[in-house]
Amino acid sequence: MAQRQWKKRRWLGIALLLVAVLLLGLGETALKGRLAPGIYVLYWTACLFALGLAVLVALFDIRAVARDARREQRELLKKIIEDLPLNPPLRKPPPPEPGENQEE
């Protein structure tokens, strides 16, 4: 389910960026000087709107990726803690140094 949402966000962002780039390209080449002043303002408002939506989708995607990473990190930490032994073996005492009294 999460991967499907991830794909939707990415494709939506790509589509919005393509629309903004296409509008920018058309506005600077084929439509330059041919649009009436009112249409000109609406055209560039639509281009800016598509770009703004692409930025918003990107910000939501960043937020979702960070949320998923935090969730996976918590799950991994929880699994590591659950896998720890309850009674870890005691450390062996260090061997006696030469010259110390040894019990016989």
Q: Each residue of 47-99: pLDDT tens digit? A: 999 999 999 999 999 999 999 999 999 999 999 888 887 766 677 777 778 87
pTM of the model: 0.67
Query: What confidence tier does 10 reach under pLDDT thresholds 50, 70, 90?
Result: very high
pLDDT in tens, 12-41: 999 999 999 999 999 888 888 888 889 989
**Longest distance between any two alpha carbons in the chain, whole Å:** 107
Q: What is the DSSP letter of 87?
A: S
Decide if 46 contacts 24 (C-beta within 8 A): no
pLDDT of residue 103: 59
